[in-house]
Amino acid sequence: MKIPTPAPTTDRTPYAIEGPARILIVSDVHVPYHDPDAIRAAIAFGRDRGPISHVLVNGDLLDAYHLSRFEKDPTARTFAQELKDAVQIVKIFARVFASAQIVIKLGNHEKRFETYLQGHAPALADLPGFTLEEILQKELPDVDVVSEWRNITAGDLLIVHGHEVGRGSGGTNPARWLLQRTGVSTICGHFHRTDSHQIRNGLGEKIHGHTIGALCQLSPDYLPRNQWNHGAAFVELTAEGEYLVENKIFQ
């Protein structure tokens, strides 16, 4: 009796950044609700750190406003224009950091594209070229696009967008929340707040958690009062996998 072929599973092979490396991490741009001054601050921050080998856009480059399940303003910018503007912003980073590898990690807002297709056009959802990953790769052929459920590693440091490790707002100490869910040194965006936390495990090893500020507008109509801040992070990675994180708040 022939055993049926199992259904394909999502590729979760980590995307590995090998050391030595100098990585600029930005997160939560949320085009078209990005903040131009915050983007300029992130670029200046990266330039000040000297040669950058990688620029990682760590999730939610796009807001995907029109694809959300929430009530929408019909006058808001179209998804096509949102995608065009996001590509332009990535190209600016690529031009400024010309020798760096640009990496885009897909976050929960990019997930809206897949969810929308599955809900409104399921017959088209599996057509070649219809995933957001493929669309971005076509528009930005020199950029590495990392799918939602693939982790990124930089030596001993795990990098995720943040929504992958569990639901929740992160509470008052999102970096601690992050460590409780991953159990390893981790950095993420998603919470739009800069925070760091350190613990020692049972072997006496230090484990670090970091959450990064956003590059989007800080007082959106749906949540005008919040504890968000602008920021970015710089990671210096050695050939042995050891790392140093500078988690920067933009005032």
Q: For residues 54 and 124, which has the higher predicted lDDT (pLDDT)?
A: 54
The arrangement of secondary structure in 20-250, i.e. its CATH architecture, is 4-Layer Sandwich (3.60)
The model's confidence at residue 5, banded by pLDDT at 50, 70 and 90, is low
Rounded Cα gap, residues 160 and 43, in angstroms: 21
Identify the CA nearest to 161 among candidates 26, 53, 52, 24: 26
Residue with tokens 């600029």: 24
**Does 7 have pLDDT greater than 80?**
no
pLDDT, tens digit, 9 for 90 and up, residues 44-59: 999 999 999 999 999 9
Rounded Cα gap, residues 212 and 192, in angstroms: 6
pLDDT at 202: 87
**Does 81 have pLDDT greater than 70?**
yes
Q: Which residues contact 15 (CB under 8 A, 6 or more apart)?
A: 103, 144, 146, 150, 151, 152, 153
pLDDT, tens digit, 9 for 90 and up, residues 197-230: 999 988 999 999 999 999 999 998 878 889 999 9
- Whole-model pTM: value is 0.92
Mean model confidence pLDDT for the chain: 92
Identify the CA nearest to 73 among candidates 59, 84, 83, 63: 63
C-alpha torsion sign, points 142, 250, 147, 12: positive
Amino acid at 10: T
The model's confidence at residue 67, banded by pLDDT at 50, 70 and 90, is confident
Q: For residues 31 and 118, which has the higher predicted lDDT (pLDDT)?
A: 31
Q: Which residues contact 140 (CB under 8 A, 6 or more apart)?
A: 87, 90, 91, 94, 102, 104
pLDDT, tens digit, 9 for 90 and up, residues 15-44: 999 999 999 999 999 999 999 999 999 999
Residues in the chain: 251
